[in-house]
Amino acid sequence: MERDKSESGRKGADQVGAKQGAGKQIEGEKGANNKAKRVALIGFDCAIPERLEALIDEGILPNFEAFKKNGSYIAEGYNLPTVTPPSWATIATGAYPRTHGVEDYYYYVEGRSLEHKKTVQGFGAEVVKAETIWDRWDRAGKKCLVVNYPMSWPSKMKNGVNLMGQGMSPAEFRFMEPGNAHREYLAAESVISTETFAQGHKVVFDKARGWANLPEGEDFVEFTVEVSFRECVWPLETQTWHGLAWASPDNPGGPGGTGGSGGPGGLGDFINGQGDSNEAINRFALGPEKDYQKAFFTLSVGQWSDPIEGDYRVKGDSRVEKGVFRAKLMELSDDAEIFKLYLSGISGRRGFVDPPEAAEAIDFSKVITANDIGLVSLIGGVIDPQTVIELAGFHSEWLTNAAVSLLKANPDWDLFYSHAHNIDWFYHAFLADLDSPDPEIRKRGRELEREIYKIEDRYLGKLLELTGPDDLVILCSDHGATPLGPIFNTAAALAEKGLCDYQKHKSENYWDIYEESEGFDYILNVEKSQAIPQKYMFVYVNLEKYPGGFVKEEDYERVRGAIIDALLDYRHPETGERPILLAVRKEDAKVFGMGGIQAGDVVYALKPEYMAEHGYGLPTGKSGCGSLKNILLFKGPNIKKNYVYDRPRWLADIVPTICAATGGPLPADVEGAIIYQIFEDFGQN
């Protein structure tokens, strides 16, 4: 395999910025003859170079492997901060976070308190201050398709199509939502169970009465539940659903069942009067009426339902929205005293495609978005790891269906930008398992990782079928990840020096699970804190101009200096070591792409072994089986084949390289450089 061996490359190439203004083009020596006709960027959130390479070497990712052999691979991709919104904004604009204005997962809203819990998720296109490549190309009359791309919604395009990108999953809103709250078209996941869950509906079975068309069996028991729908963009009216469980002769014992609580006094005794039945309850049906023939589905333990399409009425509105969900029966004991039915979110079909008529090209009736692949439910004990993998498959099916449908319906497309989040969700739950000292946990984790990448490999293959030899195709990730280390609580470090005051607190919102696992498990006393930790890498001086602030302007530098000293001096209580790698003034952070209007007064980075997967450290960080680097692969006309470029490149270099490869117009705010070294033949007029 050919590798770049030069000390300085083609002299000065890495330092040549893309200086052309909006509307100008970059041309190679051979003019348009070696230019790509179209561009497809296929993004995989949190794909880690080392992990991808290892799985390619195993021979289980044929599409990634073929792509790497037929293109150029950059093994040292960087962006800072190593978190989703700023990275994808950089990939779209060619500008650094200090310029495009998205410097964290969270966004500080001017006029609010500085405390972290008053920030919002920064996924909206409104906060991107630099021009995106699709907006620039759209102005030039080109057709751009943007699918599930963070920071892209609402769309400004006149000629293109945008399938909502205002979160991590399609058809969800996160901008202006606190913590990890979100809203979906139509509703989020839930559970019906005999146990209590934060996002659930608790039920108790009783003897079945009044059912029509019962199947063959005995020991019929039922429940009726008022199902309220959660996290809806359009609040939906509650629906009444009826559950039925019974002992089916066609399914004795319930394969995969839990065995039940058994013993005298169980529900089976109540049903049979004398408790003399030996039949185990093993089948379950759910429906809108007490009529078995109208049931949504019939399941045994461990089974998924087919996609269920139904009508959902919007509150205070006469309109009805079509939606699709799937269900999996997680538990059903012999006597029905233990029961758990997982319900995926309800996936709609309107409101998240612009222009709206473009959605007519997509059949949404048989797929579900499976937002966050059930990660919150996994952490909450609702589902198991295998179900997470199955949900990842459903999510990929939805995304594949939408992307392929739009590409086929718009054969005149010029630019395709897409994003898939499966790998990131997976690593948040399982990356630490890959390095577990327990061989069984480590084995299971690596098996699950293989399945996730195989799902994404199939998705990649479907998209590559719709590109040709004249197209430039780019595979990239926004950041990597490292296994969860000892948690660093910024507030605790500042409190040791009397700069911060807080109380420990556990949120009642189930979506705050992520934040609390990363150290944000407290309530800040703003009126008693000179320093306010915020977002992933920032600390603010609590100046008088902020709500609850009291530090005077003349004390700003003194307090800022004290913050830096407190961070650098702090020793972690578990290890006795200093977890902080660096802490600098906001203006000094400009040298690594940060320090803009959304940066705190102090910018800090953790050592990689203290990371909570990603977001807190430099992109050079490596710990255990993970690293914070991102992948970058290019394939197409005039791109070197089977070539590895070993030196660091930044995500900001993607857009100018696209424009160089196509002769397309350059967005107005590009700061990255052309990656000259991956071209077979490149020069400047």
**Residues 6 or more apart whose Cβ sits within 8 Å of residue 594:** 80, 81, 96, 97, 98, 103, 537, 603
Residue 621 pLDDT greater than 90, yes or no: yes
In sequence order, what are the residues at sequence separation of 6 or more whose Cβ sits closer than 8 angstroms to the Cβ of residue 19?
none
Residue 626: pLDDT band (50, 70, 90) is: very high
- Give the whole-angstrom CA distance, residue 286 versus residue 283: 11
Q: What is the pLDDT of residue 683?
A: 65
Write down the pLDDT at residue 19.
Answer: 34
Question: Tell me, what's the pLDDT at 201?
Answer: 97
Q: Write the single-letter amino acid at 553.
A: E
pLDDT at 647 over 90: yes
Q: What value does the mean pLDDT take over residues 50-76?
A: 97
pLDDT band at residue 256 under the 50/70/90 scheme: very low
Asked if the model's pLDDT at residue 65 lies above 70, the reply is: yes
Residue 308 is predicted with a pLDDT of 98
Instruction: Give CA–CA dist 535/615, Å, rounded.
Output: 9
Question: What secondary structure does DSSP assign to 518-545, as a single string?
Answer: TT--EEE-GGG-SEEEETTTEEEE-BTT
563 pLDDT more than 60? yes
The average confidence (pLDDT) of the chain is 90
Minimal CA–CA distance to 499: which of 548, 553, 541, 447? 541
Contact criterion met (CB below 8 Å) for 514 and 180: yes
Global model pTM greater than 0.85: yes
- What is the rounded CA–CA span in Å between residue 383 and residue 443? 20
Structure tokens at 589: 């952070």
Question: Predicted confidence band at 75 (pLDDT cuts at 50, 70, 90)?
Answer: confident
Q: Determine the average pLDDT of the residues in 225-239.
A: 97
Supply 427's token pair. 């690593």
Q: What is the rounded average pLDDT of the residues 318-331?
A: 97
pLDDT at 13 over 80: no
Q: Got the DSSP string for 165-212?
A: -BSSSTTEE-BT--TT--EESEE--EEEESS--TTEEE---EE--S-B
- Could you state, in order of their start, the residue ranges of all structural domains in the chain? 2-83+130-171+370-483+633-678, 186-347, 490-623
Tell me the pLDDT tens digit for each residue of 498-553: 999 999 877 766 666 666 666 677 889 999 999 999 988 999 999 999 999 999 99
CATH code of 2-83+130-171+370-483+633-678, in short, is: 3.40.720.10
In 3-state terms, what secondary structure has residue 223? strand
b or e along 438-470 (b: 16 or more beta carbons within 10 Å of the residue's beta carbon)? eeeeeebbbebbbbbbbbbbbbbbbbbebbeee
Residue 29 binned pLDDT confidence (cut-offs 50, 70, 90)? very low
Rg over CA atoms, the chain: 27
Per-residue pLDDT, 523: 86
Q: How confident is the model at residue 8 (pLDDT cuts 50, 70, 90)?
A: very low
Q: What is the mean pLDDT of residues 362-375?
A: 96
* Bridge-based pairing state of the strands 190-193 and 200-202: parallel
* Residue 226 to residue 239: CA distance in whole angstroms: 6
Q: 464: which 2 tokens?
A: 């590559």
Kindly report, residue by residue over 282-318, the tens digit of the pLDDT.
999 999 999 999 999 999 999 999 999 999 999 999 8
**Which tokens hold the place of 118?**
């008053």
Whether 636 contacts 71, CB under 8 Å: yes
The upper half-sphere exposure of residue 58, i.e. CA atoms within 13 Å in the direction of its Cβ, equals 15
Percent of the residues in the chain that have a pLDDT greater than 70, as a whole number:
89
- pLDDT at position 685 is 33
CB-CB contact of 222 with 242 (8 Å): yes
Domain 490-623 coded CATH 3.30.1360: yes
Contacts of 51 by beta carbon, 8 Å cutoff, 6+ apart? 449, 453, 625, 626
* Residue 326 scores a pLDDT above 90: yes
**Residue 668 buriedness (CB in 10 A; 0-12 / 13-18 / 19+):** middle
